[in-house]
Structure 1
Amino acid sequence: MKTAIQFFALILFSLAVKAQNNPDWPNIKRYEEANSKVAAPAKGEKRVVYMGDSITDFWINNDSTFFTHNNYYDRGISGQTTGQMLVRFREDVINLKPAVVVILAGINDIAENNGPSKLEDVAGNIKSMAELARANNIKVVISSVLPANAFPWRPAINPVEKVSRLNSMLKQYAAEKGIVYLDYFTKMVDDKAGLPAKYSKDGVHPNLEGYKVMEPLAQQAIAKALKSK
């Protein structure tokens, strides 16, 4: 198990390094072809886009039917920080003309994948995505960061306090702006402020059982967002 986790951590670390050295820093090319094949929404269609990092990126591989059966589009990219997501937000969210966007972001900023960043800036990037969405008549769901008490690819960083603080910032912003806040954290955290082994192999990324906890929570949040003014 330890060897598998170390191997997985090495993959994530290499992705982070590539992101720093890649001229297509936000990785806009990742979904360019897929986006070009997405037709305009049909009348009455309630299209949903999930914007995120590896937790969103791996979701469709763990449970593809959740997306195909619900007209959901996965636009997660492994290793990404909120700054990268903000840059590609128009291409991967706004241009798809969804009714709702579900934003799940911030853990890689805390892991310093692209270097140190202030939590206020991380929250600011998420707020900017929400503001862009609302300006384009897209309902917003802001997700809490999932619990994590260690990073396999950044063992020197203890994320517990920052995860808690970022979630508090996002929850407060959502309440102030009338945006739906999706609280994965409370439903998934263990007594060590981490993601329990039954939900994850590495303490950061959910397994299928973890995603099965997240899915009904996401759908409830989407339904609430669709009803909001």
Structure 2
Amino acid sequence: MSQIKIYKSKKWSSFFVAIAVLISCIAMQRQAKRVIFFGDSITQAGVKGNGYINQLKKAVDSTKFQLIGAGIGGNKVYDLYLRLEEDVLNKKPDLVFIYVGINDVWHKLGARTGTDYDKYLKFYQALINKIQAKGSKVVLCTPTVIGEKKEGTNEVDADLNKYAAGVRDLAAKNNLPLCDLRKAFMDYEAANNTEDQEKGVLTTDKVHLNDVGNKLVADTMLPFIK
């Protein structure tokens, strides 16, 4: 009988240990800050291979931060506004990176379906307002590049600089942190694109990021994840 009691005691001890471990894991998940990256195809690719979100996942403590990509190819700022509730707010994030603007400028070419500057800023401000109303923190990101040649010589550099300046102004106006990706890219290109290539240094096609470009985005964003 004593052996049976010992066996049952050990069995129950193992059960309670398992329960304690499970509760601990759930508690850690709840304590982990939820960070959402909200954007277009660059962010959509960020969760694949050496994408910038995957690189960030390797750089942060997974017990402290849960990183989630919410990017859809072709999206502009108003697309983000339309899906904000479902893809971001319903997930109750602690922190949201807004990284949008490339398509708003790029799509002015050809089909001319881009976003006028004033509308870009209005929708961007509306995103900020709705995210903050839910108690989430926001980091604003400037759009990166459409072409990697010397600054001022790519077709839409003037527009990109204008839209990036608008994001900087929104960050200052709302007292929000600014992740100045465009400046980081311009500085990198100035130092490393010695042959004045239009692609291949940080991008595969003048817009979408190669491994080096993804690393630069990850390195620039990392200090804001805290």
Tell me, yes or no, whether TM beats 0.5: yes
Of 183-192 and 199-208, more deviation after overlay is shown by 183-192
Q: CA deviation at 1:117?
A: 2.7
In 1, are the aligned partners of 2:77 and 2:123 still within 8 Å (CA)?
yes
Count of matched residue positions in the alignment of Structure 1 and Structure 2: 179
Aligned counterpart in structure 2 of residue 211 of structure 1, from 211, 214, 218: 214
Amino acid at match of 1:108: N
C-alpha separation in 1, matches of 2:85 and 2:28: 16
TM-score (norm 1): 0.70
C-alpha separation in 2, matches of 1:137 and 1:211: 29
Aligned counterpart in structure 1 of residue 173 of structure 2, from 170, 173, 176: 176
TM-score (norm 2): 0.71
Deviation digits for residues 149-195 of structure 1, max 9, x if unmatched? 38xxxxxx932111100111110110121111101111112359997
Aligned counterpart in structure 1 of residue 162 of structure 2, from 162, 165, 171: 165
Q: Secondary structure at the match of 1:141?
A: strand
In structure 2, the partner of 1:131 is 129
In structure 1, the partner of 2:120 is 122
C-alpha separation in 2, matches of 1:100 and 1:116: 27
Of 186-195 and 162-171, more deviation after overlay is shown by 186-195
Aligned counterpart in structure 1 of residue 95 of structure 2, from 72, 76, 100: 100
Q: How does 1:52-71 map to 2 (within 5 A)?
A: 52-63=39-50, 65-66=54-55, 68-69=57-58, 70=60, 71=66
Aligned counterpart in structure 1 of residue 79 of structure 2, from 75, 84, 92: 84
In 2, are the aligned partners of 1:49 and 1:75 still within 8 Å (CA)?
yes
Q: CA deviation at 1:111?
A: 1.8
Identical aligned residues as a percent = 21
Q: CA deviation at 1:93?
A: 0.6
C-alpha separation in 2, matches of 1:196 and 1:100: 32
Aligned Cα root-mean-square deviation (Å)? 2.7
CA 1:203–1:81 in structure 2 vs 1: closer, same or farther (change >3 Å)?
A: same
Which has more radius of gyration? 2
Q: CA deviation at 1:116?
A: 4.0
C-alpha separation in 2, matches of 1:41 and 1:175: 34
Structure 2: unaligned runs, 5 residues or longer: 1-25, 61-65, 149-153
Amino acid at match of 1:93: V
Structure 1: unaligned runs, 5 residues or longer: 1-38, 151-156, 224-229
Q: Secondary structure at the match of 2:33?
A: coil
In 1, are the aligned partners of 2:203 and 2:210 still within 8 Å (CA)?
yes
Q: How does 1:140-159 map to 2 (within 5 A)?
A: 140-149=138-147, 158-159=155-156
Amino acid at match of 2:211: L
In 2, are the aligned partners of 1:101 and 1:139 still within 8 Å (CA)?
yes
In structure 2, the partner of 1:187 is 184
